[in-house]
A and B are shown apart, each in its own frame.
Chain A
Amino acid sequence: MINSYGFRKLKNRLFFVLCAVCVVIAVVPLASILFEVAIRGAPQLSITFLTANASKGGIGHAIQGTLIIVGLTSIIGIPIGILSGVYLSEFGNNRYTQSLRTINNMLTQFPSIIVGITAYALIFNILGSSKWAFSTLTGAVALSFIMIPIITRTTEESLKLVPNTLREASLALGAHKWRTTLSVVLPTTKTGLITGILLAVARVAGETAPLIMTIQGSRYFFRGLNGRIAALPLEIWTNSLQPYPEAQAQGWGAALILIIIVLTLNIAVRLASRRE
């Protein structure tokens, strides 16, 4: 006969083991990717590799490209995203708001290759020539289509957490609604906003598909908003398709750098939200 206490202890054990196994299954691929990338990428790292362009065997142009394109995307995406979130949370008290919110949530999950094609078609039709269609600008527009819905949503969600009593306190002092939003509501949720922005930046920094359709990659440093430009994800992609071992090795190096950038952003998110 089974001792019931012993049996329950056994069940407890079993459950614990099962959970542990699942954790291992989830973590092993992730850890092995990190490990593999670090092992293969690290030997590539050198000053030249980080600063020179493709013709000298470096990925400096891709790092620069990623910084420029993510910066441009942020310039377009952050203000629009935050203002849209503010609108939905503070001013969107009408019957259109719910559908706007649904569409926005849908856009956060939108297939990014389609976003790329859309940006291409948009710029092509607005500027009326294919000269601008494959360009830095088009890439930034595409990435901001990805960034805006994310920031809109995180902004709205963090504004919703601000207690209404604070809005009322400000309005009761005779402050206008816009002033209340700007000086009372937004500062109260500053860390929420920063977290949303950093997450969105990390997300677009790693996007590849929309860039294939827009900036197309380049072997050189930045050549103007209407020119093609390199970016780390594209650099990894093109290098990995090459038959040459040196090119593949460069791809590993670029992958390591991209992972470091995205990880750093995520750690920054953790630090920012911990302060709250």
Chain B
Amino acid sequence: MTLEIKHLTHWYTDRDHKLYEDVNLTFESGRFYAIVGESGSGKTTLLSFLAGLDEPREGDILVDGVSIKEIGLTKFRQKYVSTIFQAYNLLNTMTAFQNVQTALAITGSIHAKDKAYILDQLARVGIDEEKAHKNVQRLSGGEQQRVAIVRALLVDAPIVAADEATGNLDHENSQKIVDLFAELAHEFGKTVILITHDRDVASRADEQLLLQNHVFEPI
């Protein structure tokens, strides 16, 4: 599966202050990409387009040549991409377990009713059963982020997009997460796009892109 960005041009309020101009990028499945760039350069904005949460002013995003608008943004979000944000990823009224389960139910995953499987996967990132049944607001920021990552990894989406997913984690935990991302790309054949400011994390990717001066340059 190929994910393409075609002629992407975007600005928020001022047409003369464009975030990007005529950007063309291709992401292949089975590969792990890292996007780096200065704060405010437009990394999160790009992710919002890739996650089908927003639409660019100009240009299009295509999956195997089909525009995601044609697929339908809701369906695209549900079936094609799973996203991890910088903050506020979880449903505050629920436990870690319920958060994962809810996501699986929405996306129609076969694992939605597999309690043991969900707990297993949470345990892999250090969320034991006791923590899994706590309301997520009682977990630390890092733990919350790990729950969000597990959730994104478990839904069967071919694209995984993460925004500063390791930002709140210590070195050891962030290494574990990066291992997971790499595994998803290399063993499960997913397209993994990771936004980070951490050069160490970025260096683990198959390809690194630097967003600078309104364009993406390979490093």
Q: A and B, one complex?
A: no
Q: Spell out A's residues near B (CB within 8 Å).
A: none
